[in-house]
A and B are shown apart, each in its own frame.
Chain A
Amino acid sequence: MEEAEVDSPPLRQIGVKSPPLLAPFTTISELKSNRFLVRNLIRREVRGRYRNAALGYGWAVIEPALLALVYWFLFIMLSGNPDKMYAAWVLVGVIVWGCFAKSLNGATNSLTSNVRTMHLVYFPRSIFPIASVGANMIVTMMSCLVMLPIIFVYDLPITIHLFWVPVGVFLAGFMALGLGMMVAPINCIQRDMQHLIRFITRAGFFVSPVMWTAEMAMERGAWGESALWNPMVVPITMVRHGLEGKIVDLPFYIIASSIITAFVMYVIGTIIFSKYERRAVKYL
Chain B
Amino acid sequence: MNKTSIKLDDIALHFPKQRNIVSIILDFFRKRERNFTALEGIDLEIQQGEVVGIIGRNGSGKSTLLRVISGIYPPDVGKVHAAGDISLLAGLGTGFSAHQTGRENALLYGSILGHSEEEMRKKLDEIIDFSELGSFIDEPLRTYSAGMKARLGLAVASAIKPNILLIDEVLGVGDPSFKEKSKKKILNMVKGASTVVVVSHSFGLMTDICDRVILLHHGKVMCDGAPQDSIKKYYELAGEVNEEK
Binding site for B on A (CB under 8 A): 1-5, 8-15, 17, 36-37, 39-41, 43-44, 47-48, 51-52, 114, 116-123, 189, 278, 281-283
Contact = CB atoms under 8 A, between A and B. Distances in A.
B191 to A, nearest CB: 6
Given A2-B161, A11-B4, A121-B114, 13 more contacts: A4-B192, A8-B48, A12-B83, A15-B71, A41-B111, A48-B99, A119-B67, A119-B90, A119-B94, A121-B70, A123-B112, A189-B16, A282-B73
Contacts of A12: 81-83
A207 to B, nearest CB: 29
Interface hub of A17, A51, A117, A119 (most chain B Cβ within 10 A): A119
B100 A116 contact: no
Contact of A121 (B5, B18, B108, B112): B112
A122 B88 CA distance: 9
Among A51, A281, A282, A283: residue with most chain B CB under 10 A: A282
A47 B114 contact: no
A1 B191 contact: yes
Q: Which 3 interchain pairs have the tightest Cβ spacing?
A: A9-B84, A51-B99, A4-B194
Contacts of B80: 13-15
Contacts of B83: 8-12
Interface string B5-34: 101000000011010000000000000000
Interface of B: 1, 3-5, 7, 15-16, 18, 48-49, 67, 69-75, 79-86, 88, 90-91, 94-95, 97-100, 104, 107-108, 111-114, 116-117, 120, 161, 163, 188, 191-194
B91 A52 contact: no
A14 B70 CA distance: 8
Given A4-B161, A5-B49, A36-B111, A47 B100 contact: yes
A44 B79 contact: no
A43 B108 contact: yes
Given A1-B188, A5-B194, A36-B116, A122 B97 contact: no
Contact of B72 (A47, A119, A189): A119
B95 A116 contact: yes
Contacts of A41: 108, 111
Nearest to A13: B81
Contacts of A36: 111, 116-117, 120
A43 B70 contact: no
Contact of A15 (B5, B18, B74, B108): B74
A44 B97 CA distance: 6
Contact of A52 (B18, B74, B94, B99): B99
Contact of A4 (B98, B108, B193): B193
A109 B114 CA distance: 23
A79 to B, nearest CB: 43
Given A47-B99, A117-B94, A4 B163 contact: yes
A184 B193 CA distance: 36
Given A12-B83, A282-B16, A122 B192 contact: no
